[in-house]
């Protein structure tokens, strides 16, 4: 079997047998890769000096049978990269990082490369490791993820009637509708929530998440929850923590 290599982030770790683990990596060029690490839990094995951690950056070498879509890759080498120990020194950073890897794992397909998203994920994790203010990094990731998977909502006008949001008029957001609803159109929709002018200002332009507040993170999380079909596991803990710490 030919060997391939790539840069990667460890998204998930699943127990497989007494001595082996299945690791889910998000790689730069191959997208999401599931690989079995044989002997990773034994202290005497030679190839992996220590266990492989969640949220770790590194470089992996793996082999894969064809058709690869249906097969588990075999991890032959893992070289840890830049350590991101700062992620574990504060709970808000850790939750934010866990949120990013969980949503990446849930919303991307195996062997479907998303280089731009990979680069944003690595940059966001690196920034979070030293961040004082966490919300803008989370929002930057949420925006990149939604754009990359084609689920970015339309925020320039009401998706139903096409009118532009008026200053001082309340505006709603609907995930099912994929964007804004004006006051005339919101009444007939059940799934919706009000969006504040501040959040709309942050997300309405380029929508890259710069200057985002906890309220913007919360709105994007609401939409991501709909797209995923369930809330991310750390969603509640993260949004609560962000709204109390700013």
| Residues engaged in binding Zn ion (CB under 5 A) | 158, 160-161, 182, 185
- Measured from the CB atom, the residue of 85 and 187 that comes closer to Zn ion is 187
Cβ atoms of 24 and 41 within 8 Å: the answer is no
Q: Whose Cβ is closer to Zn ion: residue 158's or residue 199's?
A: 158
Residue 154 beta carbon to Zn ion: minimum distance, rounded to whole angstroms: 12
Q: Shortest distance, CB of residue 172 to Zn ion, whole angstroms? A: 9
Q: Token digits for 202?
A: 């942050």
Half-sphere exposure of 192 (CA within 13 A, CB side): 21
Return the number of the residue (127 or 160) whose C-beta is nearest Zn ion. 160
Least distance in angstroms from the C-beta of 202 to Zn ion:
22
- The sheet carrying 171-174 orders its strands as 154-158, 179-181, 171-174, 193-195
Element (H, E) at 156: strand 154-158
Nearer to Zn ion, 64 or 180 (CB): 180
CB 146 within 8 A of CB 152: yes
Q: What is the closest distance, in whole angstroms, from the C-beta atom of residue 184 to Zn ion in the complex?
A: 5
Judged by beta carbon, residue 3 or residue 161, the one nearer Zn ion is: 161
At its nearest, how many Å lie between Zn ion and the CB of residue 99? Answer: 32
Buried b (16+ CB within 10 A) or exposed e, 73-112: bbbbebeeeeebebbeebebbbbbbbbbbbbbebbbebbe
82 Ramachandran zone, left/alpha/beta (phi>0; psi -120 to 50):
beta
């Amino acid at each position: 079997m030919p060997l391939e290599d790539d840069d990667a982030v460890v998204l998930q770790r699943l127990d497989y047998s007494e001595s082996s683990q299945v690791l889910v990596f998000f790689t730069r060029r191959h997208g999401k890769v599931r690989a079995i690490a044989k002997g990773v839990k034994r202290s005497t094995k030679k190839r992996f000096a220590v266990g492989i951690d969640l949220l770790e950056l590194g470089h992996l070498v793996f082999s894969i049978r064809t058709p690869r879509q249906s097969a588990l890759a075999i991890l032959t080498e893992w070289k840890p990269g830049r350590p991101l120990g700062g992620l574990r020194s504060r709970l808000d950073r850790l939750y934010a990082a866990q949120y990013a890897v969980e949503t990446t794992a849930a919303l991307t397909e195996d062997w479907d490369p998303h280089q731009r998203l990979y680069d944003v994920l690595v940059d966001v994790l690196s920034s979070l490791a030293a961040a004082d203010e966490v919300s803008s990094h989370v929002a930057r990731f949420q925006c990149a993820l939604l754009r990359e998977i084609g689920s970015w909502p339309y925020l320039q006008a009401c998706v139903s009637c096409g009118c532009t949001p008026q200053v001082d008029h309340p505006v709603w957001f609907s995930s099912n509708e994929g964007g804004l609803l004006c006051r005339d159109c919101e009444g007939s929709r059940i799934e919706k929530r009000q969006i504040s002018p501040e959040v709309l200002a942050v997300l309405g332009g380029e929508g890259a998440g710069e200057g985002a507040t906890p309220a913007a993170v919360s709105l994007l999380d609401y939409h991501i929850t709909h797209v995923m079909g369930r809330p991310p596991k750390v969603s509640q803990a993260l949004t609560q923590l962000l709204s109390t710490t700013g």
